[in-house]
C-alpha cells in the first residue's frame, strides 16, 4: 500500500476481525515502537491513545473503534493515504462487506494472533470496546504477557505455597524460578534507608536501594520510564524483581499502568550518560541484562553493569539528591554513587 514508509503491512489481506487485529499487531512490530512511544507520538499530534487501550485493542479479536485505528496507524508512522486504507478496510469488516475472494492471494500478515506480543492480563477497559453493531460476538479475553492466568483453585493453592516458600527462602540461595512479577508491594511500612548492602542478591521480589544515599529506584510518574533515586516507599512504581538469566541478571518490573517490563539502557546506547529506564522487555537485548558485581570486603554493595557496555549504573557525581536520574556511567574506582543493595520484598501480597 502507498505510504510515507515502504514495506508496511497491508490491511487489504484481512478477511475478518481477527486478521485485521493481527495486521495491526504486525504494523506495530514493523514500526519498532514500544507502547509508551506510540502513546507519546499520538499525544504529540493531539490523538488519544492510552497504553492500556492500545494493549486491549491488540489483545482482542473484534474490530476496534475507528478513532483508535486512525490514531494507532498515524502513531506507527503511516501517512494520510495509509490511514484512509486502514479505515476503509475496518469499515468493510464492521459491516460484514469483506469476503475472502476480495483479498489478495498474498500470504497472511507476518504477525498472526499466535505470535502477537503478550500484553498484561488486565480486565478489558471500557474505552477499548468496539461499537455495538460492528460485531455480534463478545470480546475475547486479553492475552497475558507471559502465560495465561491460572484457574482460581490452582491460583489459591499456589499463593498458599508461595507464602510457605517465602518463609523458608534464604538470601542468596539461588532458587526462585519466577520473580513474583508485580506481587511485591511490601508490608505497608516505609522501607528503612539502611546504609549496608543487605542480603546477597537472589531471584525474587526486591526493592533496589542506592547504598550511598539510602534512596530507592523508582519512576516519577512520567511516560518515558526513566528511573530515579527517590524516597523508599512500599507503593513506589515500578515494582522490581530479580531474575537470573544466562550470563547475568534481568531487572523485571511491574507497572500498574504499563504491565510487565524490564530495566535497561535507553536505545542500547554504549555511551557514558545514557538514561536507564523501564521499558517493554525484548527490545534492547543485552542492554536490559546486567552483571551484579560485589564491591568491598565485606561487601559494601553491588555494581549494576549492563552486559552490552560493561559500564556502571549510577547517579552522576554520587549525589544524594532525591530525584537524581539513573544513568549508565564510567565505573568509578571508589564506586561513588554506583553501589546498590537488593532488599527482599514480600512476594505473597498481590495488591
The string of pLDDT tens digits covering residues 229-254 is 999 988 888 999 999 998 899 999 99
Name, in order, each residue with C-beta under 8 angstroms of 105's C-beta and a sequence gap of 6 or more: none
Residue 332: enclosing H or E segment and its boundaries?
none
Phi, psi (rounded to 5 degrees) for 314: 180, -170
Check residue 138 and give its pLDDT: 37
Q: How far is 144 from 45, CA to CA, in rounded Å?
A: 30
List the helix and strand counts (H, then E) for the chain: 6, 12
pTM (2 d.p.): 0.50
N residues, the chain: 351
Q: Which residues make beta-bridge pairs with 276?
A: 265
C-alpha cell at 105: 492471494
Query: What is the SS3 assignment for 209?
Result: strand
Q: 322-326 long-range CB contacts below 8 Å, 24 or more apart? A: 322/213, 322/215, 322/228, 322/229, 322/230, 322/231, 323/220, 323/228, 323/229, 323/230, 324/228, 324/229, 325/226, 325/227, 325/228, 325/275, 325/276, 326/217, 326/226, 326/227, 326/228, 326/229, 326/275, 326/276
Query: What is the SS3 assignment for 351?
Result: coil
The string of pLDDT tens digits covering residues 140-152 is 333 333 333 333 3
Contact between residue 241 and residue 278 where contact means Cβ atoms under 8 Å apart: no
Mean pLDDT taken over the chain: 74
Distance of alpha carbon 285 from its chain centroid, rounded?
14
Check residue 198 and give its pLDDT: 57
As a whole number of Å, the CA-based R_g of the chain is: 22
Amino acid at each position: 500500500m502507498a505510504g510515507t514508509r515502504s514495506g508496511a503491512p497491508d490491511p487489504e489481506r484481512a478477511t475478518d476481525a481477527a486478521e485485521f487485529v493481527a495486521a495491526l499487531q504486525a504494523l506495530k512490530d514493523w514500526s519498532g515502537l514500544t507502547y509508551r512511544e506510540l502513546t507519546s507520538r499520538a499525544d504529540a499530534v493531539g490523538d488519544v491513545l492510552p497504553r492500556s487501550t492500545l494493549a486491549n485493542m491488540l489483545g482482542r479479536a473484534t474490530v476496534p473503534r475507528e478513532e483508535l485505528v486512525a490514531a494507532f496507524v498515524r502513531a506507527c508512522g503511516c501517512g494520510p493515504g495509509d490511514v484512509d486504507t486502514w479505515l476503509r478496510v475496518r469499515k468493510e469488516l464492521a459491516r460484514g462487506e469483506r469476503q475472502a475472494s476480495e483479498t489478495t492471494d498474498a500470504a497472511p500478515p507476518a504477525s498472526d494472533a499466535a505470535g502477537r506480543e503478550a500484553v498484561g492480563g488486565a480486565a478489558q477497559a471500557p474505552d477499548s470496546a468496539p461499537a455495538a453493531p460492528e460485531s455480534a460476538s463478545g470480546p475475547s479475553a486479553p492475552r497475558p504477557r507471559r502465560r495465561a492466568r491460572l484457574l482460581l483453585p490452582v491460583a489459591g493453592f499456589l499463593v498458599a505455597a508461595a507464602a510457605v516458600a517465602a518463609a523458608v527462602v534464604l538470601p542468596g540461595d539461588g532458587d526462585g524460578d519466577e520473580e513474583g512479577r508485580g506481587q511485591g508491594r511490601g508490608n505497608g511500612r516505609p522501607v528503612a534507608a539502611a546504609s549496608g548492602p543487605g542480603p546477597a542478591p537472589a531471584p525474587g521480589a526486591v526493592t533496589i536501594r542506592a547504598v550511598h544515599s539510602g534512596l530507592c529506584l523508582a519512576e516519577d510518574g512520567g511516560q518515558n520510564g526513566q528511573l530515579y533515586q527517590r524516597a523508599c516507599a512500599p507503593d513506589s512504581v515500578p515494582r522490581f524483581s530479580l531474575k537470573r538469566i544466562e550470563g547475568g541478571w534481568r531487572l523485571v518490573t511491574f507497572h500498574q499502568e504499563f504491565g510487565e517490563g524490564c530495566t535497561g539502557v535507553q536505545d542500547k546506547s554504549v555511551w557514558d550518560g545514557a538514561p536507564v529506564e523501564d521499558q517493554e522487555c525484548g527490545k534492547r537485548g543485552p542492554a536490559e541484562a546486567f552483571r551484579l558485581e560485589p564491591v568491598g570486603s565485606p561487601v559494601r554493595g553491588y555494581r549494576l553493569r549492563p552486559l552490552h557496555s560493561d559500564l556502571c549504573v549510577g547517579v552522576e557525581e554520587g549525589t544524594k539528591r532525591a530525584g537524581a536520574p539513573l544513568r549508565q556511567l564510567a565505573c568509578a574506582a571508589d564506586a561513588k554513587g554506583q553501589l546498590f543493595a537488593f532488599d527482599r520484598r514480600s512476594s505473597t501480597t498481590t495488591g
